[in-house]
Amino acid sequence: MKKNSLIDIYLQHYSTGEKWNLNANDTENISQVVVIPAYAEREMLFSTLASIAQNQLSSLEYSFILCVINNKGNSPPAAIKNNLQTIKYLEALVKKKSLGKFSTDREIYPLLLDLSDAKLKLGYIDASSRMNEMPQNLGGVGMARKIGMDMALRLLKKSSTPRNLILSLDADTLVQNNYLSAINNYFTQKVKTAIVAYEHQMPLNYEEQAAICCYEIFLRYWVLGLKYAKSLWAFHSIGSTIVTSTEAYLEVRGMNKREAGEDFYFLSKLAKMSKIGYIKETCVYPSARPSARVPFGTGKRIQRFLSGDQKEEYRLYDPQIFVILADWLQLMKNQFICGDDEILMKTERIHPMLKFFLRDCDFAVFWLKICRHTKDEKTFTRQFNDWFDGFKTLKLINYFTKEVYPQINMFEALERLLSMSGMSGLKLNAETKIPKLEEQIKILQYLRTVT
């Protein structure tokens, strides 16, 4: 079926609908759209746009930047006011209006002047003002991303290029000046989805530096552990790093509407379709600020670090859990003709508790179903990976953390996992439970090279 027919089917059955309109200056000859949800981001968004504007003119010509200014009807008045001001700024840029009336905003006004001179193909969606708000039961970053990504599909429908891309970014995330071109050059016919390398911005405040350093080490340890286990889900799940082809976006029926964790679930679905690539030729820089907007994620972890017992933050999953995961995945590579009882018996050799975890996950029911409907090993592998996906991987790790192997000191865990992985590029001081911040930063810099 032709691309446009598939897009029409998606827009008819799975999109967010036609409620939200696009305000834009130029949508011609584009092959990739950068979608930026923004909720009360007046102070951050225009710095992000300015960093995009520093990209090469040739890449700006085929890229469209789409801001989704969003809130619910019951959002705090201050957030709504912030959004409405943001829309005024964007409207002035898009319609080439005079910016003089904004000169009292000394921080943003210079950015607006620079953006007015830039060759940025810019647009926005008003999902904020009265009658345009997002639904109160669905509003959140997932819904905002979906509104933007679905609009991106409409824009890319008329593109004549063989590969069209949707780039997911955040309003507080800066990019390098090769961001647009590096992504465009990375994608080939074999690549459907990728994530961009990232490094959190380093705050000026010492405590916040410690907080983001601790959190990013945790994120990279997680991926390092999954890599050790040879898991298919060994990739970072950060919304501002995701790039997907329109083809892949249609295959998974678009972005979800989750309030939080939308990036994890979206990438998990995409990973079931094809391998997730990793674009190292450029980098994005997410903000490290504390926030209580969502129940988990960067902002929440930074806030928790700053307000709680910091010693408790320096803890990670016991590496032994990744050993169990690795052995489980290896076991299931050669079990096409085995019964569920035989498999459960073999799991006891890995760890006695693994059998109980699988029973809790209704493994026997899944196995009966897969054996009835699978006739070859290739199909079996795909069906198993669909079942034991990123979410079940997370459940297994949390189960063994709760029942058998509690979290241990961050740097002890890291040293053990690096040793298990055959990586000797980092030397840790065994006598120091929590190294000085300068040493932690060196550790983080090393992890950025291997994850």
Residue 161, domain CATH: 3.90.550.10
Amino acid 50: pLDDT: 98
Locus of tokens 């490290």: 288
Assess if residue 23 is contained within a domain: yes
Q: Kindly give the pairing relationship between strand 32-38 and strand 63-70.
A: parallel
Identify the DSSP state of 371.
H
* SS3 at position 44: helix
Among residues 164, 305, 178, 298, the alpha carbon closest in space to that of 240 is found at 298
| Cβ–Cβ < 8 Å for 279, 367 | no
| Cβ–Cβ < 8 Å for 15, 153 | yes
Q: Clarify whether residues 58 and 149 are in a common domain.
A: yes
Position 260, amino acid: A
Task: List the structure tokens of 420.
Answer: 């298990």
Ranges of residues in the chain with a pLDDT under 50 are 292, 295
Amino acid 370: pLDDT: 82
| Cβ–Cβ < 8 Å for 53, 114 | yes
Q: Clarify whether residues 52 and 154 are in a common domain.
A: yes
Amino acid 430: pLDDT: 60
Q: Clarify whether residues 99 and 175 are in a common domain.
A: yes
Q: Clarify whether residues 176 and 280 are in a common domain.
A: yes
Q: Clarify whether residues 281 and 186 are in a common domain.
A: yes
Among residues 122, 136, 16, 20, the alpha carbon closest in space to that of 71 is found at 136
C-alpha span between 229 and 226 (Å, rounded): 5
Assess if residue 267 is contained within a domain: yes
Q: Clarify whether residues 283 and 325 are in a common domain.
A: no
Give the residue from 381, 403, 425 where a domain finishes: 403
Amino acid 93: pLDDT: 97
Amino acid 344: pLDDT: 86
Q: Clarify whether residues 183 and 279 are in a common domain.
A: yes
Amino acid 313: pLDDT: 84
**CA dihedral for 353, 411, 203, 67, sign (positive or negative):** negative
Surface-to-core class of residue 83, CB atoms within 10 Å of its CB (0-12 exposed, 13-18 middle, 19+ buried): buried
Q: Clarify whether residues 130 and 250 are in a common domain.
A: yes
C-alpha span between 5 and 177 (Å, rounded): 35
Assess if residue 135 is contained within a domain: yes
Q: Clarify whether residues 267 and 389 are in a common domain.
A: no
Assess if residue 130 is contained within a domain: yes
* SS3 at position 124: strand
Assess if residue 303 is contained within a domain: no
Q: Clarify whether residues 120 and 190 are in a common domain.
A: yes
Q: Clarify whether residues 271 and 391 are in a common domain.
A: no
Number of domains in the chain: 2
| Cβ–Cβ < 8 Å for 42, 82 | yes
Q: Clarify whether residues 254 and 379 are in a common domain.
A: no
Assess if residue 201 is contained within a domain: no
Domain residues for the domain of 349 are 319-403
Task: List the structure tokens of 191.
Answer: 């690549």
Assess if residue 431 is contained within a domain: no
Assess if residue 329 is contained within a domain: yes
